[in-house]
């Protein structure tokens, strides 16, 4: 009841009444309970029902449940509804699924259980008769013995709170729908399926891969569903009521902090300094570099109003900071003595994408670092491009245990306005898709010419005759780089390592590396002795620099705790029970592979440290093996699409012509599986030209590009991939 | 010439021509040099002039120079201009001032020298005849031997680039102005003052307090001018082309980073976790808590457009995150076991103030941390409010060497929507004004009631009879706090410690604690030996954990380097010359008090460490003494205003009535000096009721409030103050 009140007051909706009554387990019993029970129920009211359907979809596709909120007396014809929604077939969801999805049983199911997190994951159908009704309707107050009474229009208002640009309520007039259905031949299944969930809760429509506890989806069956479920259940993030924005909870933010700390410790000795530039850019400045801004323009968020005043000129929120920073570089750099200038900032940028957002991978606001440097010589700039790229490689490989392949982007895929782009490319084995990890760009002199960042050439011969008509005689435009790494790294880490129990965290970035769980407690054991043993063990580990925590919560079983910490991906669980203490040991359980082994308490800090290192390297090696196995050298065109379809990245002896790249994308896309809206684009594009060409066979003289037949230049990775940010 | 091209290309303006010619030192010589010199000069053109005037102002007020950009043949009547601009009198600025202000002599002065940093600091007057003219005008290209030719309209466009909501170009029609002046009796001074600067550069109108090198203003004479000059010259910040936003350069951002590191290390053990919530808030959510939002509404920046699409509903940029976060607290907190919930974030917030911005003190975007916590009991919440406030005190006192007084705010000054607000109050001796340092708020249960953040009472008697009509029977609304500290701390530190040589940094937050400068070099000494000695000394210091740097820049004198590092506030300078090396010593110079003393190289790391600690505590003690001396106990009303006028904070035995506070502000404001637009409000308000009441005389029974005569409750600090953020 308090929960009902909380969600309503949060939505600024005042219920007509909140009524406690006898427990009920059917619509009829509900009605009776209300009649007999409580004087606070309104004199006149209707009841509501919530029906949950699972649509039939192609294998591997995500079934998006259809949730119908309707007046109790509405006749919901599921066949007609399916047709209206352009779905193949609707089956009532099993009661298990209701519990998993809503945390409620069929007799408590309420429209109030819909929240910002659930709403985008379902297709919500609203009985149009409720929308404009000022009549009073009863909805379950999250339980069998409570009812909230609301105006129909308030129910509609409550639900519409969660609408976003992508996720809208579908309004259906069930009277009209019924008459349409009556005019058509009735499919055989309708009669059964149309019965309300409450009356026929048993149904075989259980979502494949749904499990009773823990993660709802199987990674290999429903990857997108699995991904968001893992992120939510591990408390990495939560949905937010502005579409495309997500809350980074401490469990993920701490990973970002550990990356920040490591990266800062590496760039400082290189001479890079951190700074902070404003988030706003005037439109004039933003639009100065045409090539550069072209890619961002459709996604720029504009501030046009402050308080009640319209701004004279709209102001953009930075999508990236080249144009924010470079006018000041032109001002600050007066002499070659001011070079190199190397600034970095940790900030958030905004790109108002209209494509389907994905937590960490594609979000409207995201956190990153962006480094912007200016050099006297191309050599100095080139060296830094590669030094930074190597730091990015190490963030992935040494901190996140995710293998990546460093290389250079094709002309088509490089940063617009730059000279060349280097990248570390990752791989998601489950989908067989490549993913851009982070990029380090050489901007050459393009931006310095645009912004007038120029110095006197210190090596120009003194008193040399200068062309008086050339104002830049004896001057040098500086060489610039920019480089960025975003919170996307966290998404890649989750996708690569997570399993059907949830998250698997690499020890070096886990905010909790070891959880100590008391076990084997019963009425005969002295709980406090065991708890004390656990706390002492944690003290020993923490003193040795290990991030350890004891889970001494009362009222939870060890099994519940195991599941909880497994979902959250803690690398090592140490179980401590009376028998363990007697044997002066703890039982260690590795999250990454489930291996159990007793560890003597004597010297346990060292043993655990070394086990953490083993886990870190095992995780990396497994992921590296998976990537290596799926990196296929292909030299004939007819092998390209089948190899991609086998969830591989292909490595082609490529001609490096842009037209050929377009052609490869077109031809590999056509033959691929039908595109799913949530899946990334299915045409293959060039991912990178790896620096390490020696890992592939020697390119024989006369080798030709399998796509166009022109002479091959270098081995190049092509793959289906996740849509990328320009950084 | 390259500089002219750089600023023009940065403004997307293409000059008609850039012409090199013989050096000239008068308008006539300029004209001749152009005629005789170079075929690239356009066939037909006019010349321009730039006149700089200093207006006469009240003592202690900031003189804002008037810069006139006009066609060379325009007749500028300074008397009429002064009248038009509502200024007392205009005097031509001295050549020294031109050099200081523009870095140019009178024969090179050019409109192109105006940039985003200069523009808001002058009143720019533009000859209206230039504005719409497509004729060609010559302007100096930053030198005596270069000229840029531009369309008149391009000159106007160039200057208008720097206009902001607060700083606009004043357009004057000098023909009209002349005819107006002719119609009036001519003041005696006009004839002389109207002559162009170029012809009569010598004038006694030098700005009082301007000095030849280093900081342009004296702290005690022109505090606002001094403040921004110190920030710019020490490279703490730079102006930005969106009004009210500033660039935090590494020299200040590193101070913020050291505060972050320290504060994180203290809140983590308290159980506070860092997280990141989105910067956007939907209007519905933002407007939910009416009391709370009322104070922010006029300053909220609204995003209404993304790319070319209008958003369905405008989205706000967070001015603070209560309403961003608390709907999720309601969702996450399901049981008393989830309490306390303690999250903190380091982020930027936006408050689109229309008042005069001031770097660090009042900016439209600023960096801060905001902590938001929820507790089961008031006791737990209260304890945290005070624990956090003590951390804020320590940030000021232990890191920044700035004394503050902890206390509680009056009802009028507390955070709207909260229960009570605690604060650490600082003091700027130069102006005698108080300044709010940071605040830690008890929100009580106001927000938890609004957002429905509720738990089952774990201490409620089991099976107690619950009122079935009270849905909250046995439930508890959580107790909440919020607390924040912003980059304002840096501004306070600068104001308290800086002097007429520039910044003075407390050692604990200085990114460079020691600078080693080679000295006594001449043609006979081997520079490399001395440089090597300096580098070795730095190595020794760095290994001991001291942030040291050697300044071995070639082409700069030791004097230049001394001045440079003094402006930047480095705590210790170590001078190393041949004589020092021979004596195995270095000469130390303290930035805070100028004390010089030789230090033996033997054991120098320890000596320097201890000297840094001494400087830190000396700086704090001096500032504390200054604050203590200016904290005056006043018990009679007639003493209040004179004491405030003496640049003191008064401590009154106060009744704590809100009406009395309004009255004090009104009465102390009326009698004060006339308000300057750049100065903070002149009425005194309550700053804090100090927790440490014992430092003041014992409040005798029957003591009355000197303002209203009602019984006094507690000693309360009142003062003129800097406008405050609500945090």
B333 closest CA partner among B441, B463, B448 = B448
| In chain B, domain spans | 1-181, 246-385+415-461+473-496, 506-624, 631-719
The band of A59, judged by pLDDT with boundaries at 50, 70 and 90, is low
Q: A59 vs A499, A672, A676, CA distance in Å? A: 20, 15, 11
Chain centre distance of CA B321: 23
Contact status, residue B126 vs residue B156, Cβ threshold 8 Å: yes
The band of A636, judged by pLDDT with boundaries at 50, 70 and 90, is very high
Q: Which pLDDT score is estimated for B679?
A: 43
Task: Read off the pLDDT of each residue in A339-361 and give the average, rounded to a whole number.
Answer: 93
Number of separate helices (H) and strands (E) present in chain B: 22, 31
The band of A204, judged by pLDDT with boundaries at 50, 70 and 90, is very low
Chain centre distance of CA B512: 21
Q: B579 vs A603, B574, B576, B583, CA distance in Å? A: 57, 14, 8, 6
A to B CB pairs, distance under 8 Å: 217
Instruction: Evaluate whether the domain defined by A506-624 bears CATH number 3.40.50.800.
Output: yes
Residue that the structure tokens 């390490």 belong to: A692
Q: Which pLDDT score is estimated for A661?
A: 95
Our CA-based measurement puts residue A301 at a distance from the nearest CA of chain B, in whole angstroms, of 4
Q: Which pLDDT score is estimated for B725?
A: 42
Q: Which pLDDT score is estimated for B472?
A: 65
Our CA-based measurement puts residue A295 at a distance from the nearest CA of chain B, in whole angstroms, of 11
- Rounded Cα distance between B183 and B673, Å, is 36
- Rounded Cα distance between A156 and A111, Å, is 10
Task: Read off the pLDDT of each residue in A267-292 and give the average, rounded to a whole number.
Answer: 90
| Beta strand A454-456 pairing with A479-486 | unpaired
Backbone angles phi, psi at A10, to 5 degrees: -65, -30
Task: Read off the pLDDT of each residue in A175-189 and give the average, rounded to a whole number.
Answer: 61
| Interface touch B253/A245, C-beta < 8 Å | no
pLDDT of residue B672 exceeding 50: no
Q: Which pLDDT score is estimated for A676?
A: 44
Task: Read off the pLDDT of each residue in B556-580 and give the average, rounded to a whole number.
Answer: 95
The predicted model scores a pTM of 0.76
pLDDT of residue A196 exceeding 50: no
- Rounded Cα distance between B505 and B571, Å, is 6
Task: Read off the pLDDT of each residue in A51-78 and give the average, rounded to a whole number.
Answer: 79
Q: Which pLDDT score is estimated for A374?
A: 98
Task: Read off the pLDDT of each residue in A102-107 and give the average, rounded to a whole number.
Answer: 79
Task: Read off the pLDDT of each residue in A3-24 and give the average, rounded to a whole number.
Answer: 81
Give the CA count within 13 Å in the CB-facing half-sphere of A503: 32
Backbone angles phi, psi at A77, to 5 degrees: -90, 110
Residues in chain B: 727
User: How many other C-beta atoms can be found within 10 angstroms of the C-beta atom of residue B625?
Assistant: 12
Q: Which pLDDT score is estimated for A202?
A: 34
Q: Which pLDDT score is estimated for A184?
A: 55
3-state SS assignment for residue A680:
coil
Task: Read off the pLDDT of each residue in A462-483 and give the average, rounded to a whole number.
Answer: 77
Contact status, residue A541 vs residue A601, Cβ threshold 8 Å: no
Task: Read off the pLDDT of each residue in A691-718 and give the average, rounded to a whole number.
Answer: 96
Work out the percent of chain B whose per-residue pLDDT is above 70: 90
Which residues on chain A are in Cβ contact (under 8 Å) with B38?
A: 468
Q: Which pLDDT score is estimated for A199?
A: 34
| Interface touch B306/A297, C-beta < 8 Å | no
Signed CA dihedral, B525, B531, B532, B538: sign only: positive
> Radius of gyration of chain A from Cα atoms?
30
User: How many other C-beta atoms can be found within 10 angstroms of the C-beta atom of residue A495?
Assistant: 25
| Interface touch A2/B454, C-beta < 8 Å | yes
> Radius of gyration of chain B from Cα atoms?
30
| Interface touch B279/A250, C-beta < 8 Å | no
pLDDT of residue A179 exceeding 90: no
Task: Read off the pLDDT of each residue in B215-229 and give the average, rounded to a whole number.
Answer: 87
| Interface touch A279/B348, C-beta < 8 Å | yes
Mean pLDDT of chain B: 87
Among A239-248, A352-361, B26-35, B653-662, where is mean pLDDT lowest? Answer: B26-35
Task: Read off the pLDDT of each residue in B692-704 and give the average, rounded to a whole number.
Answer: 95
3-state SS assignment for residue A308:
coil
- Helix or strand (DSSP H, E) at A536: helix A527-543
Of the ranges A122-126, A437-441, B182-186, the best mean pLDDT one: A437-441
Of the ranges A558-562, B295-299, B310-314, B565-569, the best mean pLDDT one: B565-569
Which two three-digit tokens encode residue A586?
């703890």
Intra-chain end-to-end CA distance of chain A, in Å? 48
The band of B184, judged by pLDDT with boundaries at 50, 70 and 90, is low
- Rounded Cα distance between A16 and A148, Å, is 8
CATH architecture of A246-385+415-461+473-496: 2-Layer Sandwich (3.30)
Written in H, E and C, the secondary structure of A588-630 is EEECCCCCEEEEECCCHHHHHHHHHHHHHHHHHHHHHHHHHHC
Q: Which pLDDT score is estimated for B207?
A: 31
Which residues on chain A are in Cβ contact (under 8 Å) with B160?
A: none
Which two three-digit tokens encode residue B433?
């004004």
- Report the CATH superfamily, name and number, of domain A631-719: C-terminal domain of ProRS (3.30.110.30)
pLDDT of residue B77 exceeding 90: no
- Rounded Cα distance between A280 and A282, Å, is 7
Which two three-digit tokens encode residue B352?
């689109």
Surface-to-core class of residue A661, CB atoms within 10 Å of its CB (0-12 exposed, 13-18 middle, 19+ buried): buried
pLDDT of residue A35 exceeding 60: yes
Among A229-238, A450-459, B86-95, where is mean pLDDT lowest? Answer: B86-95
pLDDT of residue A205 exceeding 70: no
DSSP A184-243: SPPPTTHHHHTS-TTT----S-PPTT--SSS-SS-TTT-HHHHHHHHHHHTTSEEE-SST
Surface-to-core class of residue A659, CB atoms within 10 Å of its CB (0-12 exposed, 13-18 middle, 19+ buried): exposed
- Rounded Cα distance between B496 and B511, Å, is 19
Task: Read off the pLDDT of each residue in B121-139 and give the average, rounded to a whole number.
Answer: 87
Mean pLDDT of chain A: 87
Work out the percent of chain A whose per-residue pLDDT is above 90: 57
Residues 6 or more apart whose CB falls under 8 angstroms from that of A102 comprise A52, A109, A113, A118
Which residues on chain A are in Cβ contact (under 8 Å) with B333?
A: none
- A307-332: pLDDT as tens digits: 989 998 999 999 999 999 999 999 99
- A400-452: pLDDT as tens digits: 999 999 999 999 999 988 999 999 999 999 999 999 999 999 999 999 999 99
- A686-699: pLDDT as tens digits: 999 999 999 999 99
Our CA-based measurement puts residue A573 at a distance from the nearest CA of chain B, in whole angstroms, of 22
Contact status, residue B282 vs residue A241, Cβ threshold 8 Å: yes
Degrees to nearest 5, angle at CA B451 with B448 and B456 = 55
Task: Read off the pLDDT of each residue in A547-576 and give the average, rounded to a whole number.
Answer: 94
- Report the CATH superfamily, name and number, of domain A1-181: YbaK/aminoacyl-tRNA synthetase-associated domain (3.90.960.10)
**Interface test mutation site (partner A, options B40, B247, B290, B348, max chain A beta carbons within 10 A):** B247
| Interface touch B472/A2, C-beta < 8 Å | yes
| Interface touch A275/B247, C-beta < 8 Å | yes
**Interface test mutation site (partner B, options A8, A23, A247, max chain B beta carbons within 10 A):** A247
Surface-to-core class of residue B638, CB atoms within 10 Å of its CB (0-12 exposed, 13-18 middle, 19+ buried): exposed
The band of A61, judged by pLDDT with boundaries at 50, 70 and 90, is low
Q: Which pLDDT score is estimated for A726?
A: 37
- Helix or strand (DSSP H, E) at B123: strand B123-127
Q: Which pLDDT score is estimated for B62?
A: 64
| Interface touch A452/B9, C-beta < 8 Å | yes
Of the ranges A26-40, A98-112, B380-394, the best mean pLDDT one: B380-394
- Helix or strand (DSSP H, E) at A317: strand A309-317
pLDDT of residue A293 exceeding 80: no
**Interface test mutation site (partner A, options B261, B307, B465, max chain A beta carbons within 10 A):** B307
Task: Read off the pLDDT of each residue in B606-629 and give the average, rounded to a whole number.
Answer: 98
The band of B284, judged by pLDDT with boundaries at 50, 70 and 90, is confident
- A329-346: pLDDT as tens digits: 999 998 999 999 999 999
């Amino acid at each position: 009841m308090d929960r009902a009140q909380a969600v309503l007051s949060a939505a600024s909706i005042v219920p007509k009444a909140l009524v406690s009554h006898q427990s009920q387990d059917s619509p009829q019993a509900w009605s009776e309970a209300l009649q007999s029970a409580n004087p606070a129920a309104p004199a006149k009211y209707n009841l509501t029902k919530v029906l949950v359907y699972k649509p039939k979809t192609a294998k591997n596709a995500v079934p998006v449940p259809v949730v119908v909120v309707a007046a109790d007396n509405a006749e919901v014809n599921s066949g007609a509804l399916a047709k209206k929604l352009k779905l193949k077939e609707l089956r009532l969801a099993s009661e298990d699924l209701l519990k998993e999805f809503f945390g409620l049983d069929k007799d408590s199911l309420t429209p109030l259980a819909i929240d910002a997190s659930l709403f985008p994951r379902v297709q919500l159908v609203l009985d149009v008769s409720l929308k404009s009704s000022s009549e009073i309707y009863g909805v379950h107050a999250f339980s069998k013995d409570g009812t909230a009474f609301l105006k129909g229009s308030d129910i509609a208002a409550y639900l519409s709170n969660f609408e976003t640009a992508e996720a809208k309520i579908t309004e259906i007039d069930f009277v009209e729908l019924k008459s349409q259905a009556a005019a058509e031949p009735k499919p055989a299944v309708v009669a059964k399926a149309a019965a309300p969930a409450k009356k026929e809760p048993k149904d075989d429509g259980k979502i494949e891969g749904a499990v009773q506890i823990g993660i709802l989806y199987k990674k290999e069956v429903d990857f997108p569903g699995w991904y968001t479920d893992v992120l939510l259940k591990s408390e990495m993030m939560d949905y937010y009521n502005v579409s495309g924005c997500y809350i980074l909870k401490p469990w993920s933010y701490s990973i970002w902090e550990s990356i920040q700390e490591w990266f800062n410790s590496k760039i400082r000795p290189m001479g890079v300094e951190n700074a902070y530039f404003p988030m706003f850019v005037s439109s004039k400045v933003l639009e100065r570099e045409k090539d550069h801004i072209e890619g961002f323009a459709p996604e720029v968020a504009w501030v046009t109003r402050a308080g009640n005043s319209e701004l004279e000129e709209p102001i953009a929120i930075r999508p990236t900071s080249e144009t924010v920073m470079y006018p000041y570089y032109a001002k600050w750099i007066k002499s070659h003595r001011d070079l190199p200038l190397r600034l970095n900032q940790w900030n958030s940028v905004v790109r108002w994408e209209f494509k389907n957002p994905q937590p960490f991978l594609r979000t409207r606001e995201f956190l990153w670092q962006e480094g912007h440097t200016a050099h006297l010589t191309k050599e100095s700039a080139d060296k830094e491009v590669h030094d930074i790229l190597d730091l990015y490689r190490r963030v992935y490989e040494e901190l996140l245990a995710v293998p990546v392949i460093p290389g250079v982007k094709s002309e088509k895929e490089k940063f617009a306005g730059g000279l060349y782009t280097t990248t570390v490319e990752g791989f998601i084995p489950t989908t067989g898709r490549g993913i851009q990890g982070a990029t380090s760009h050489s901007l050459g002199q393009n931006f310095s010419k645009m912004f007038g960042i120029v110095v006197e050439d210190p090596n120009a011969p003194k008193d040399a005759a200068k062309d008086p008509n050339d104002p830049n005689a004896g001057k040098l435009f500086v060489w610039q780089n920019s480089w960025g790494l975003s919170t996307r790294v966290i998404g890649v880490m989750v996708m690569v390592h997570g399993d059907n129990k949830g998250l698997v965290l690499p020890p070096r970035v886990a905010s909790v590396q070891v959880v100590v769980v008391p076990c084997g407690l019963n009425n005969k054991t002295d709980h406090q002795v065991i708890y004390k043993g656990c706390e002492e063990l944690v003290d020993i580990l923490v003193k040795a620099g290990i991030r350890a925590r004891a889970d001494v919560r009362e009222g939870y079983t060890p099994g519940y705790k195991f599941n909880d910490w497994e979902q959250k991906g803690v690398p090592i669980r140490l179980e401590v029970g009376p028998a363990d203490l007697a044997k002066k040991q703890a039982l260690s359980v590795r999250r990454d592979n489930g291996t159990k082994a007793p560890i003597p308490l004597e010297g346990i800090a060292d043993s655990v440290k070394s086990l953490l290192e083993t886990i870190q390297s095992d995780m990396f090696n497994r992921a590296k093996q998976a990537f290596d196995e799926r990196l296929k050298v292909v030299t004939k065109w007819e092998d390209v699409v089948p190899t991609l379809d086998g969830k591989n990245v292909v490595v082609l002896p490529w001609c490096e012509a842009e037209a050929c790249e377009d052609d490869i994308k077109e031809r590999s896309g056509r033959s691929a599986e039908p595109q799913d809206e949530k899946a990334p684009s299915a045409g293959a594009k060039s991912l990178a030209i790896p620096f390490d060409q020696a890992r592939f066979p020697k390119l024989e003289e006369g080798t030709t590009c399998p796509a166009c037949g022109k002479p091959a230049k270098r081995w190049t990775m092509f793959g289906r991939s996740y849509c990328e940010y320009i950084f």
